Structure 1
Amino acid sequence: MTQTVNLYEAKTHLSHLVEQAAQGEEIIIAKAGKPKARLVPINEPGTPREAGPWAGQVWIADDFDAPLPEDLLESFEGSFD
């Protein structure tokens, strides 16, 4: 079930609205009659994902995000001198 409340009411009764959302109810918070936000329960994390057919075959180097050497960077960006 979805309930719509105005912003003032939401501020006044936030604890109660959070409890309602935690029990599965969706709360729409509106300002001047226009929906602005939705208060919903947090879903508990599911089961961890299992590795697929590429498991153990792909790796990322430790320096993956290190800065590029200057000469290689210039070949991507071009020289503006």
Structure 2
Amino acid sequence: MYVHLAKIINKWQINYQLRNFETNLRQMIQALVVLYYQKHRWKNQFQALINRHFWKKEKYPLKYTRSMKDGSVVFLGKISKGL
């Protein structure tokens, strides 16, 4: 009787640990995705700053830019020329 109970409890513990591991993994992946997107947004902002300050105005017309709600400027099209 007690052995059987112990087996059941052990099985529960293993299931709980697996579930815990799964949620941890999911959270880690979410965190990595968030970091990736933040890094790219930061890069875009940095590039926007460089372009705004050091490039001639005619070289980058306004039609290629979109300003976002949080004040950052996103460029559409190729920007790799400047860096």
Q: Does TM, scored on the shorter chain, surpass 0.5? A: no
Q: State the TM-score, normalizing by the size of structure 2.
A: 0.21
Which one has a larger percent helix, Structure 1 or Structure 2? 2
TM, length-normalised to structure 1:
0.21
Structure with higher strand content: 1
